[in-house]
Amino acid sequence: MSVSSRQVTNNKMKLFPIILAAGQGTRMNSAIPKVLHPIGGKPMLAHVIDSCKQLQAEKIAVIYGHGGDQVQAKIQDDAITWVHQAEQKGTGHAVAQAAHLMHDDDLVVIAYGDVPLIKADTLQCLADSLQNADLSILTTLLDDPTGYGRIVRQQGEVDCIVEEKDADTAIRQINEVNSGFIAAKGVDLKRWLQQLSPENAQGEYYLTDCVAMAVAEEKRVITVICENPSEVEGVNNRLQQAKLEREYQTEQAQNLMLRGVSLLDPARIDIRGNVSAGKDVIIDVNCVFIGTVKLGNNVIVEANCVIQDSVIDDNSVIKANSVLESASVAENCNVGPFARLRPGADLQKSAKVGNFVEIKKSIIGEGSKVSHLSYIGDTYMGRDVNIGAGTITCNYDGVNKHLTQIGDHVFIGSSSQLVAPIKVGDYATVGAGSTISRDVPANKLTLTRPIQKTINGWQRPTKKNNN
């Protein structure tokens, strides 16, 4: 029996996923527990939990040990029952810590917190296979099976699983390997766990020994072959983490392209969250999407942009090297290049934010332009406003933030400072180089500018000769 990325019917038995996440992960050389290291911007363990939650299980147990406080603090999910494994004595010992949670009629699925690419469909297929068996093992076929437990058969039927350290030369030639994922009925699994022994090369309680016990009881043991080996590949070091990161990103890129997005180089995009996109979206190279990002129809994102938790509506262009965080960009807007939209930036229809402009917690009204080298913070800006280069809103007095209100059709000259709180009336003009600290009336020119002087007979200083 094999499984690929396909839908399968829900099993009618009560599913009980148990996720093993207690390992120290010493080869990661990190103070962070291994299962918290990210793939696609999300902890590996969170990926596995999400897949298990899609099984519509009544309960999910996570076996934790090393760095347990960090793990529970990072993964705060009411769907999880946390089970502590004080000593790490092998996979069988880990599962046994949750034996008291198993009901006889549970269909128990064992998963791993450091195998982040496992899919819900695969787990469901593994569970469904128990309709025709008593114990089901998720396996895969590898050209180089070194390091994995081998599936040993007698006359085509599964006989046992032999770990690499316990395998002889003949067994090591077998290329069907154990992924570690198994499914069994609660009544059987509890009995087998009680019979486990550490009599092996590693002195541990192997979960895989349950297979030989099932065979000895003349129970039916079958395998479900996972066609994509990366889906059941674990992470033990940074190299493996990087490999699975690329696998994950490749899949995300393919999904976007299948939905109609043009990626100018699918190998140079990182998605660390969820991206939804309309029709005819174009994304250039080296763009990073974090959190929840929504792209409308005909959106263009140029090279080297970072977009986090933002919405970009139809026909808008995000030019190269721009950074958006918790921003809203309406249709037909232009942003960048080298622009930064901070949380609360709200660009309304046909607005423009140009190069080296920073917007924070501000509304940029329809058709308004902030084109060059400016900072706009805590501001409400009306329609068709033109902000000159080098303008800043002075919104912070060292303790509190204050609001700047700019009406419709206002022109602010270059290198102006608007000292909040302040209001600028409709159709007002502020002369270049002004520092405005009082309200500006509508339809008038306001400026603050000292008298220009020329000093006759002035001599430019020269360098003194100290010799």
Under 8 Å between Cβ of 265 and 135: no
Is the N-terminal amide bond of 450 cis, ω within 30° of 0? no
C-alpha span between 376 and 394 (Å, rounded): 8
Q: Which of 79, 52, 82 has the alpha carbon at shortest distance from 65?
A: 82
- The rounded distance, in Å, linking the Cα atoms of 59 and 400 is 47
Cα torsion 430, 436, 441, 446: sign = negative
The answer to whether 15 and 47 have CB atoms below 8 angstroms apart is no
Q: Which two tokens stand for residue 28?
A: 């990661």
Map 447-465 to HEC letters. Answer: CCCCCCCCCCCCCCCCCCC
Q: How far apart are CA 358 and CA 365, in angstroms?
A: 15
Distance from C-alpha of 6 to C-alpha of 248, rounded to nearest angstrom: 17
- What six digits make up the tokens of 113? 């917190």
Residues 428-462 as b/e (b if ≥16 CB within 10 A, e otherwise) read bbbbebbebeeebeeeeebeeeeeeeeeeeeeeee
- Concatenated DSSP letters of 288-337: EEEEEEEE-TT-EE-TT-EEES-EE-TT-EE-TT-EEES-EE-TT-EE-S
Give CA–CA dist 64/223, Å, rounded: 27
Counting beta carbons within 10 angstroms of the beta carbon of residue 76, is it exposed (0 to 12), middle (13 to 18) or buried (19 or more)?
A: exposed
State the catalytic residues. 372
In the block, which residue shows the tokens 């469909």?
A: 121
